[in-house]
Structure 1
Amino acid sequence: MSDHSVGAKASHNKGEPVRVIFVNRFFYPDESATSLMLTDLAFALEAKPYALHVVTSGSDYTGSEERPPSREKVNGTSIHRLPALQGGQTSLVRRVANFVIFYLFSFVALLRLARRGDLVVCLTDPPFGQLLCLLAVRLKGARLINWVQDIYPETAIRLGFGSPGNPLFGMLARLRDFCWKASAVNVAIGARMAEYVKHRTADAADIRIIPNWADEKALAPLAHEENPLRSKWGYLLEDCVIGYSGNLGRAHDSETMLGAIEQLVGDAASPARFLFVGGGAQRKGLEERLKAYDRVRFCNYQPREQLRESLSVPDIHWLSLAPQLEGLIVPSKFYGAAAAGRPIIFVGDEDGEVARLIAQGECGRSFAPGAVGALTQYLRELSADRNLRELLGQNARLFAEDICARDSRLAEWTALLCDLATTEMSGSLDEAKSTQKANDYLALEGAAVVGPSRINGLANGQQCKGLQS
């Protein structure tokens, strides 16, 4: 009998609930993308028969000087916040220092919290944190689920922070691949990402695809005349606001949109206005380059309770990803923009994950980096045609409700965790009792994920203990 099987029995024999321990650098009340995903999932599990814990950092993504309590319980989830340097996102040195601090303290926290049969869900912030998570779960007899939000060291290499032949990066990649193979399950957030994991592990890892999401109910479209934030930021009803919301970092192409901005701001007849909400490595440089244009505005991250208003300010949303990072990163900004019912423009690989979603939802258009002329022309047409914007926005909203619904994605996670919590089989889950394998998803070529029928039962309140093992 395997350690996994013994662990599951040991936990159940004590009559104690299985612990689900999440590990990520950011969590509630932080507003970063992975924090929002994790917060939604953890709080959605409150009614399930688990003991929920989150191991996270004491700092937040925006660099706020406010320090939340090191221990607290929110919505049934015990939060364990670790020491961190405040303002750790402001420089590369401080960021790396916070990585190291988090590696060490999270490992110790897992050794203290994890027991045989427990589930540890490790996200990929900071990079390579899953390696220490794997060591901890092996020592404690728990099971590891990798929630793959991005893939390193390949992302760093393709952004120019090292070479493919670097021996350190090569070693880290091999250790990461071993971690994928040794984990109970690896959850990828896109089809192309799952393809890459499958390639790296020679099909030896258990891979599932559960895309990210947005709360489409909370982010329902808000008419401009009912949106106090739009008027507060100085926009008129006749303005066409083209907005970017979230992190604009090294992984994102901004030059193509900058080229379009420089052409459109000089056109007095154009209703186009440009809005950047958020932060990231490129923000300071963009503010400097665009400070002469009164049609361009920069705003900080908005609190989650104002996210509906913030995402409804733009008439058009745009997002981007450097093509060389396809399969390594999936921008989750798409889901919020779709939920807000706005047309979406993507700058990146025209066969990339987001480009496929836009094509499937018929809610916008994708452009290759450098296609400034084509992008500018499309923005001219779209900003002048309210009816077309409304049609594309309606398509986006329907896509968010029917295909990308938050409750469906959370139900897929609930089903997966219930399978893992109730199984006493070693290694990967029994093929006949698991949710659909990644190979089946890959055959859909990026189509929306629709879980098996029993997921609907879980979404309607079926308890995990009701599942048959």
Structure 2
Amino acid sequence: MKVIIASCVFPPEPVVSAKTSMDVAQYFHEQGHEVIVACPTPSRNVSKADADEKVASMSLPFLVKRLFAISSGKSGFLSRFVENVSYGLSVFFFLLKQRKVDVVYANVWPVFSLGLLLLACKIKGIKVVASVQDLYPESLAAQRRLSNTGVIYKVLFFLDSFVARRCDQIIVISDGFKTSYTQERGINEGKITVIRNWVKSAQVTVMDKALARAQLAAQTSIILADDDVVCVYGGNMGVASGLDEFMSHIGMVDNRIIFLLAGDGSLVPGLRRMVQQRGLESRVKFLVPWPAELTSIAFGAADLLLLPIAAGQEFASVPSKLITYLLAARPIMLLTNSRSESAIELKNSGAGFCVEERSDGAISSCLDGFVRLSPEERMTMGRSGRAYAENFYSSDLALAKINTIFERLV
């Protein structure tokens, strides 16, 4: 087969969705197929200078075509729309120029990028397997960028449903997503396959806490004392993360607790201002941007990993960083609805706890309770999380399912 992997994010960007696209490309290359990756220039959690250097140093056995896209410098609706459409147009013209493509694996931004990609594939007679990472426009409504009763929302929902019906197969990352596509969008259930995101366990090394903190100090300006209780957030700091809301509640938290925020995103400037205004510079550290090579070190330096999710967002997306957190073998604290899939997965893993009430008292009480846990209790949670991730988020199983879908289509 000739396979095109169209991905809106791709390494050296460290996000999970970029890594899964890389894994899909490597898997089909190793199966003996011709593979071409079509992705934009890196812009997520990586500086321009670092991106150019890392792209130049990447040695891959398959072709990677970096397509033009107007990178979104902020989290505004218009900025993201321009990025979405510009990449979609680039993919559209790229696919029209290709010869004898069998299937496209589309891990692209929804509605417009996917719609333009699909149009090119229909013209060329190429099969499309779409990977859905977020529900749109539900996610936009959850972030209060759109009203779910407004005209724009209804138009986007219609377009997303229209595009989805014309894909040959759709991969969704949760059972809740499958329900949204089959029951709300009317997509034939036979077109939908649930394949949860994955992170290869070798990509996250479990580190000794003291060693991780020493290496973090050696490679950055961040110094964490051995007796500090360190809570780490690692990932995109965008509107959907709910990180701004979480950090607004830390006023009553035990002074022994230090927060390390690793990543990048639209919330960073506001978070820095909040920290400065409240005089919390000694207790809140930023690792921005967060190089992929420091992933295990940042997580290893943690006593507790933080995963807040913006109110309402928990039912429109499933943060893939939860898998990386589980593999880091550290306890996890969720701030979300206990009925969300993330909360259910965390409960099943035995790796942490979920806080539903979004208040100073509830968050402070939860963190105080964590501080009182013994080292053995914390270690047990962490080990349970990693074992769960290795058992239930297997890359081998996921890639084999994708291969089965491709073989059925071609």
Fold-level similarity (TM above 0.5)? yes
- Counting only pairs closer than 5 Å after superposition, residues 80-91 of structure 1 correspond to structure 2 as 80-85=65-70, 88-90=72-74
Deviations 1:22-71 (A, max 9, x none): 22222122223321221122123221132111111124223633464999
Find out whether 1:392 has 2:377 as its counterpart: no
Deviations 1:262-320 (A, max 9, x none): 1125x3xx3x2111001122221111111311111011233323322122121110112
Worse-matched range after superposition: 147-156 or 250-259: 250-259
Match of residue 185, structure 2, among 160, 179, 201: 201
CA contact (8 A) 1:229 1:313 kept: no
Q: Secondary structure at the match of 1:108?
A: helix
Match of residue 229, structure 1, among 183, 195, 215: 215
Q: Which residue of 2 aligns with 1:452?
A: none
Q: Which residue of 2 aligns with 1:297?
A: 285
Match of residue 308, structure 2, among 294, 310, 320: 320
Q: Which residue of 2 aligns with 1:258?
A: 247
Write the distance in 1 (CA, Å) between the matches of 2:298 and 2:13.
Answer: 17
Shift of the 59–97 alpha-carbon distance from structure 1 to 2, 3 Å rule, reads: farther
1:95 Cα deviation from its structure 2 partner:
4.1
Q: Which TM-score applies when normalising by structure 1? A: 0.78
What is the letter of the counterpart of residue 229 of structure 1?
Q
Q: Secondary structure at the match of 1:251?
A: helix
Worse-matched range after superposition: 190-199 or 352-361: 190-199
Q: Which residue of 2 aligns with 1:435?
A: none
Shift of the 324–124 alpha-carbon distance from structure 1 to 2, 3 Å rule, reads: farther
Kindly tell me the number of residue pairs found equivalent between the two proteins: 398
Match of residue 307, structure 1, among 274, 295, 303: 295
Identity of aligned residues (%): 22
Q: Which residue of 2 aligns with 1:155?
A: 139
Q: Secondary structure at the match of 2:48?
A: coil
Q: Which residue of 2 aligns with 1:105?
A: 90
Structure 1: runs of 5+ lacking an equivalent: 1-17, 422-469
Q: Which residue of 1 aligns with 2:33?
A: 50
Larger Rg: 1
Q: Which residue of 2 aligns with 1:340?
A: 328
Q: Secondary structure at the match of 2:201?
A: coil
- Counting only pairs closer than 5 Å after superposition, residues 9-408 of structure 1 correspond to structure 2 as 18-62=1-45, 64-66=47-49, 68=52, 74-85=59-70, 88-90=72-74, 92=76, 94-113=79-98, 115=100, 118-125=102-109, 127-205=111-189, 206-227=191-212, 228-232=214-218, 233-254=222-243, 257-265=246-254, 267=255, 270=256, 272-291=257-276, 292-293=279-280, 294-385=282-373, 386-408=375-397
Report which of the two has the higher share of helix. 2
Write the distance in 2 (CA, Å) between the matches of 1:129 and 1:55.
Answer: 12
CA contact (8 A) 2:104 2:126 kept: yes
CA contact (8 A) 1:190 1:327 kept: no
CA contact (8 A) 1:61 1:89 kept: no
Q: Which residue of 2 aligns with 1:414?
A: 403
What is the letter of the counterpart of residue 215 of structure 2?
L
1:259 Cα deviation from its structure 2 partner:
4.8
Shift of the 174–114 alpha-carbon distance from structure 1 to 2, 3 Å rule, reads: farther
1:221 Cα deviation from its structure 2 partner:
1.1
Q: Secondary structure at the match of 1:307?
A: helix
Shift of the 165–400 alpha-carbon distance from structure 1 to 2, 3 Å rule, reads: closer
Q: Which TM-score applies when normalising by structure 2? A: 0.89
Shift of the 138–244 alpha-carbon distance from structure 1 to 2, 3 Å rule, reads: same
1:323 Cα deviation from its structure 2 partner:
4.0
What is the letter of the counterpart of residue 264 of structure 2?
G
Write the distance in 2 (CA, Å) between the matches of 1:51 and 1:200.
Answer: 37
CA contact (8 A) 1:63 1:88 kept: no
Deviations 1:177-216 (A, max 9, x none): 1222222211111111111111223352511111112221
Structure 2: runs of 5+ lacking an equivalent: none
Deviations 1:379-433 (A, max 9, x none): 1121232222111111111112222233333333333333333xxxxxxxxxxxx
Q: Secondary structure at the match of 2:312?
A: helix
Q: Secondary structure at the match of 1:180?
A: helix
